[in-house]
Amino acid sequence: MATVKAAILGFGTVGQGIYNIVNERKEQLTKQTGQHIEIAAILVRDLEKARPDTPGVLVTDRFEDILTVPDLGIVFEAIVGEEPAGTYLERAIESGCHVVTANKVMYAKAGASLEALAREVRTGVGYEATVAGGVPVIKTIQNLNLANQVTGIQGILNGTSNFILTKMRKEECSFADALKEAQELGYAEADPTNDVSGFDAFCKLMILSALSFGEQPDWERVPMKGIDTLTLDEVIDADRQGLRYRHIADVRRDEDGRLRASVGPVLIGPDHPLYGIDGVDNAVAIETAYAGTLTVIGPGAGMYPTASVMVEDAAVLLNQPFRTLVTE
């Protein structure tokens, strides 16, 4: 039985989830891929931080050490922010590794060039976890791309924003109080700017646009608003009329063939597929040429939802190395 060595970049919430699943699902993964996946190295920023034990695994703060692991075949990336994540993945691909990432900020910008590089050196890129955490939206669109066609996408792509809007509507509490509770429950970051300004949803929408339409709209021309622009009175008034505000990221091709995208609060009625999505869930309504509108719903974040789709991506790449490359 061949062994493929894997490295995890970042050992926080998602990185630890990957480590646990690869170990807990060892036999299943071996059966499904025909290879034994061994986590051989972990990259962190601070070696002094207390962490769960990882016996026999090299834990380092130097990326160079990762690339010297013999027979390294897969690199999971779960660090935060655009750089150095993008450069690390570029170097891993150049070294002949498959890469799997959860990093939407980096992938929205660097996804196309990483995929092009991977095509050149004949490795694969998995990025299911970059959009809507554990919801299999990338796989679904990749399948639709085979013979159907995506004509439009509307998504609730930020669980924190949806949680806050739900709480404002159901409990008539202020934006500030709802945000405070989201932070206490661990849904929102200590700095929630990317969530409540709409930027997090924007990055995810750009990834979905590249996958569905082979291109992204001009970033500067996409109107982007967060839920921080809504007042409690507006949310309550809408509810009294049987309507709901949802923070919706939308992209579609107009009749002139141009991509149109927007990110912001939208007032919708009970007929809309995203009307009933409450709390921290994410949901994506995918409009298609042949199958009408398909809506996928589920946990948009969290250790295991996110890590499990990353391990699935790795298993797909080991089975069908070039399966995830065709996005244009």
Ligand X SMILES: NC(=O)c1ccc[n+]([C@@H]2O[C@H](COP(=O)([O-])OP(=O)(O)OC[C@H]3O[C@@H](n4cnc5c(N)ncnc54)[C@H](OP(=O)(O)O)[C@@H]3O)[C@@H](O)[C@H]2O)c1
Q: Which of residues 182-201 bind ligand X (CB under 6 A)?
A: none
Cα angle 29, 34, 38 (rounded to 5 degrees) comes to 55
Tell me if 62 contacts ligand X by CB under 6 A.
no
Q: In the bound complex, what is the minimum distance in angstroms from residue 259's beta carbon to ligand X?
A: 24
Residue nearest to ligand X (CB): 12
Nearer to ligand X, 11 or 213 (CB): 11
Q: Which two tokens stand for residue 291?
A: 């199958």
Q: In the bound complex, what is the minimum distance in angstroms from residue 133's beta carbon to ligand X?
A: 5
Q: What is the CB neighbour count within 10 angstroms for residue 315?
A: 21
Cα gap 195→197, rounded to integer Å: 6
The only residue of 7, 43, 92, 317 in contact with ligand X, by rule CB under 6 A:
43
The only residue of 1, 27, 31, 46 in contact with ligand X, by rule CB under 6 A:
46
Half-sphere exposure of 324 (CA within 13 A, CB side): 28
Q: In the bound complex, what is the minimum distance in angstroms from residue 98's beta carbon to ligand X?
A: 18
Tell me the window of 24-32, 38-46, 220-228, 277-285 that interacts with ligand X (CB under 6 A): 38-46
- The one-character DSSP state at 67 is H
Query: Rg for the chain (alpha carbons), in Å?
Result: 20
Strand 2-9 relative to strand 35-43, pairing: parallel
Nearer to ligand X, 79 or 277 (CB): 79
User: Under rule CB under 6 A, how many of the chain's residues touch ligand X?
Assistant: 23
Q: In degrees to the nearest 10, what's the CA dihedral of 232, 236, 242, 243?
A: -10
| Nearest CA-CA partner of 189 in 228, 158, 231, 223 | 158
- Asked if 164 and 179 touch (Cβ cutoff 8 Å), the reply is yes
3-state secondary structure of 161: helix
The only residue of 211, 302, 308, 311 in contact with ligand X, by rule CB under 6 A:
302
Tell me if 127 contacts ligand X by CB under 6 A.
no
Nearer to ligand X, 226 or 230 (CB): 226
Q: Is 204 a catalytic residue?
A: yes
| Nearest CA-CA partner of 77 in 310, 302, 301 | 310
- Asked if 121 and 94 touch (Cβ cutoff 8 Å), the reply is yes
The only residue of 6, 7, 8, 14 in contact with ligand X, by rule CB under 6 A:
14
Cα gap 163→115, rounded to integer Å: 33
Tell me if 11 contacts ligand X by CB under 6 A.
yes
Nearer to ligand X, 80 or 267 (CB): 80
Q: In the bound complex, what is the minimum distance in angstroms from residue 179's beta carbon to ligand X?
A: 18
| Nearest CA-CA partner of 198 in 234, 236, 229 | 229
The only residue of 197, 282, 306, 308 in contact with ligand X, by rule CB under 6 A:
306
Tell me the window of 29-37, 89-97, 250-258, 301-309 that interacts with ligand X (CB under 6 A): 301-309
Using CA atoms, how far residue 159 sits from 162, 194, 201, 325, in Å, is 5, 12, 9, 28
Nearer to ligand X, 109 or 119 (CB): 109
Tell me if 10 contacts ligand X by CB under 6 A.
yes
Nearer to ligand X, 78 or 238 (CB): 78
Binding mask 85-114 for ligand X (x = CB under 6 A): -----------------xxx----------
Tell me if 299 contacts ligand X by CB under 6 A.
no
DSSP string, 211-246: HHHSS---GGGS-B--GGG--HHHHHHHHHTT-EEE
Nearer to ligand X, 27 or 184 (CB): 184
Structure-token match 């051989």, residue found: 40
- Give the residue numbers annotated as catalytic, written as ranges: 204
Residues that bind ligand X (CB under 6 A): 10-15, 43-46, 49, 78-80, 84, 102-104, 129, 133, 301-302, 306
